[in-house]
Amino acid sequence: MLKIEIFIGSPRKNGNTYALVEAFDIGLDKSKIISEKSFLYDYNIKPCDDCRACKTGKMECIICDDMKELYARIDNADVIIIGTPIYWSGPSAKTKLLLDRLRPYYSNKKLKGKKAALILPAGDGESDCDLTIEMFSRSFKALGIELIGSVAAQAYDIGEASNDKNAMASIAGLVSQINEIA
């Protein structure tokens, strides 16, 4: 079974990010795929403080917070999906905290060979997402993760993502790609 971990970086549990993630999740072939969702705003994620403990010994983060649970989810996933609204051309603060805390994997290489995709609702759509896609693309490359796709939606007010036909078609394409991997 292919294991997918979906991280939702929106403070709104029923907003546009969730609508896109849910459309993705519903389309997955559940006979071959197990998926789990985590709302990042439900977790206490402290910022990386550059202590560099993750570069020696066990090559693990020593900060005591809820990332311990999220690390376990990441370690067990074959595919990582990150859904975040775009705020000022970047991901939400919780999503950026998650990304920053992936630093131990740079040294321990545990993410090498995993796949990832991004789901990004933004007020102006795709043109608002380029910097976030580039940031994740570079970070994933450094971690040995293959970025297999990104979906951008034009959505500001709740409910607009579901009405973006291009985004929903991109979600369907991403689902097909994942179902083929499984």
**What is the total count of domains within the chain?**
1
Going from the C-alpha of 147 to that of each of 44, 123, 128, 129, the distances in angstroms are 26, 23, 19, 15
pLDDT attached to residue 35: 97
pLDDT attached to residue 10: 96
pTM across the whole model: 0.95
pLDDT tens for each residue of 91-135: 999 999 999 999 999 999 999 999 999 999 999 888 899 999 999
Domain that holds residue 88: 2-181
pLDDT attached to residue 115: 98
Q: Which residues of the chain have pLDDT under 70?
A: none
Give the CATH number of the domain where residue 86 resides: 3.40.50.360
Taking a C-beta distance cutoff of 8 angstroms, is the pair 177, 148 a contact? yes
* Phi and psi torsions of 63, nearest 5°: -70, 130
Determine how β-strand 2-8 pairs with β-strand 115-122.
unpaired
pLDDT attached to residue 125: 85
Rounded distance between C-alpha atoms, residue 96 and residue 138, angstroms: 14
pLDDT attached to residue 158: 87
